[in-house]
Amino acid sequence: MATIERIFLLAAGMLLGAASADAQSAVLTFPDLSQRARVTQRIGLTDVTIDYHRPLVAGRKIFGALQPYGDVWRAGANYNTTIEITDSVRVEGRPLAKGIYGLHMIPGASSWVIIFSNNSTSWGSFTYDSTEDALRVRVTPQTIPHVEALTYSFDDPKPSSVVLTMRWEKVAVPMRMEIDTPHLVAQKLRLQLRGRAQTEWQSWEEVANYLLENSLDAAEALRYADQSIQIEDRFENEITRARALRALGRAAEADSTQSKAIAMGSQTQVYSFARTLQRLGQQRAALQIFLQDSRKHPGTWTSHLEAARIAVAASDYRQAIIEIRAAIPLATPAMKGPLEQVLVQLQNGVDINR
């Protein structure tokens, strides 16, 4: 009889263990009631990743009730909600070093405190210790339509910033994160130039271009352009060298280098460069290149397009339309459609040089 009782008790224990294992097991993996989620946003070359579990409202009153105002909240369910940042950032204007942080929040009726803790391995906020804080910021919550499952999202992404927003129940809590993208990217590009990329002319030319386009270090850009030319002298790196010289105020050298590059370039390359000048607001220089290039390569669809741009700059839309109509039959199949669209723009009086 004792043996039968022991078997029954063992079986009952196994059943009870199985029933409770939905929540937690020391040795087995079961589905979490609050499912795990992970979302990443890249800003420049910097990744920001949120790892969290998503509780449901399930008909409850959450903030100000189940989660009282003024108490530290785990900002999710189960383990710490964590945020990993691969470069230093500014959160609501305050600096935060790269790393992995436990994310906690203190809800309030009119303001919330966001906490980045150096401890990222705890179970929720039950052992939260304020002495481990890396950063605290205060933000303003927003009232939103009901959100059943807690959600983190990255909103309003821009080249150097993003808004990380927590949404749950009828509350949204946004925090702005800003990154010095140009300088961080330049730093990482320099490191890449110490690897295999250093053997390719494109690598040096592309980094030089990045420095110039972001108004960083023109002298450094010139050095990189020269290194690119040393590997292989091409239209692209000579043009970049000219841009660097111009940024350094060495106009005569820039003009000479640009003339050399244009003599080396194909009509397509020269046209594309002139369009880049237009986008940079250097209209007069671009038009001069269009004129030189169309005279050098007469009778091509590109020369007619260049002539059309020159005509538009002089407000002569009638002549511009004539030029585009002449360009269309000469164009490659891939270019006929875009040129027809340009024709429609001209007929509607659109300035195609903008």
Structural domain harbouring 245: 181-265
Q: Which of 187, 177, 180 has its CA nearest to residue 49?
A: 177
C-alpha–C-alpha distance, residues 292 and 280, integer Å: 20
* Residue 73, domain member (yes or no): yes
d(CA 84, CA 21): 30
Query: CA separation (Å) from 226 to 157, 210, 232, 242, 274?
Result: 35, 15, 10, 11, 22
Sign of CA dihedral 270, 275, 277, 278: positive
Q: Using an 8 Å Cβ cutoff, are 22 and 30 in contact?
A: yes
Residue 344 in contact with residue 352, Cβ under 8 Å? no
Which residues, other chains included, contact 3 with Cβ-Cβ below 8 Å and sequence gap of 6+?
none
Q: Is residue 9 part of a domain?
A: no
Q: What is the mean pLDDT of the chain?
A: 91
Domain end (from 156, 179, 202): 179
pLDDT value at residue 24: 57
Two tokens at 5?
């009782």
**Residue 276 lies inside a defined structural domain of this protein:** no
* Predicted confidence (pLDDT) per residue in 105-116, tens digit: 999 999 999 999
Half-sphere exposure of 67 (CA within 13 A, CB side): 22
Q: What is the pLDDT of residue 25?
A: 63
The verdict on 175 and 186 lying in the same domain is no
pLDDT of the residue at 15: 31
- What pTM was computed for the model? 0.77
39 or 9: which carries more pLDDT confidence? 39
DSSP 234: -
**Amino acid symbol at 109:** A
Q: Decide the pairing of beta strands 161-178 and 133-139.
A: unpaired
Q: Is residue 11 part of a domain?
A: no
With contact defined as beta carbons under 8 Å apart, do 303 and 267 qualify?
yes
Residue with tokens 């250093």: 198
**With the C-alpha atoms ordered 72, 74, 80, 84, is the resulting torsion angle positive or negative?**
negative
Are residues 168 and 46 part of one domain? yes
Kindly state whether residues 51 and 175 are assigned to the same domain: yes
Task: Decide if 240 contacts 225 (C-beta within 8 A).
Answer: yes
The CA distance from 169 to 61, in Å, is 8
If you average pLDDT over residues 175-182, what whole number do you get?
Answer: 96
Are 31 and 167 in the same domain? yes
Residues 36 and 143 both lie in one domain = yes
Give residue-wise pLDDT tens across range 194-251: 999 999 999 999 999 999 999 999 999 999 999 999 999 999 999 999 999 999 999 9
Pair 170, 309 in one domain = no
The DSSP line for 128-143 is --GGGEEEEEEE--EE
- The pLDDT score that the predictor gives to residue 124 is 85
Q: Which two tokens stand for residue 261?
A: 């590059």
Residues 33 and 113 in one domain: yes
Q: What is the pLDDT of residues 315-345, one digit of tens each?
A: 999 999 999 999 999 999 999 999 999 999 9
DSSP character string of 111-177: -EEEEEES---SSTTTT--GGGEEEEEEE--EEEEEEEEEEEEEEEEETTEEEEEEEEEEEEEEEEE
Q: 193 falls in which pLDDT band (50, 70, 90)? A: very high
Residue 259 sits in the same domain as residue 120: no
| DSSP SS3 for 223 | helix
328 and 342 Cβ atoms separated by less than 8 Å: no
Q: Which of 212, 231, 265 is the last residue of a domain?
A: 265
- Over residues 249-268, the pLDDT tens digits come to 999 999 999 999 999 999 99
Please report the pLDDT score of residue 29 as a whole number. Answer: 79
CATH number at residue 236: 1.25.40
| Same domain flag for 231 and 149 | no
Q: What is the DSSP letter of 77?
A: S
pLDDT reported for residue 26: 65
User: Of 265, 291, 318, which closes a domain?
Assistant: 265
Q: Would residue 7 count as lying in a domain?
A: no
Check residue 205 and give its pLDDT.
Answer: 97
Residue 209 and residue 138 in one domain: no
For the chain, what is the domain count? 3
Percent of the chain whose pLDDT exceeds 90: 86
**Residue 93 reports pLDDT greater than 60:** yes
pLDDT at 4 over 50: no
Looking at residue 257, its amino acid is T
Q: Are 326 and 312 part of one and the same domain?
A: yes
Q: pLDDT higher for 22 or 148?
A: 148
Q: Of 122, 72, 85, which Cα lies nearest the Cα of 102?
A: 122
Q: Does residue 4 lie within any of the structural domains?
A: no
Q: What is the mean pLDDT of residues 286-308?
A: 95
Element (H, E) at 23: none
137 and 208, same structural domain?
A: no
Residue 89 is assigned to a structural domain of this protein: yes
Contact 257, 280 (CB under 8 A): no
pLDDT per position as a tens digit, 11-59: 333 332 333 334 456 678 788 888 999 999 999 999 999 999 999 999 9
Token pair for residue 346?
């001209």
- Residue 209 counted as domain residue: yes
Report d(CA 34, CA 154) in Å as an integer.
21
Compute the distance between CA of residue 86 and CA of residue 181 in angstroms, rounded to an integer: 12
Find where tokens 């004792």 sit.
2
pLDDT reported for residue 265 = 93
pLDDT, residue 8, reads: 38
Q: Are 163 and 138 in contact (CB under 8 A)?
A: no
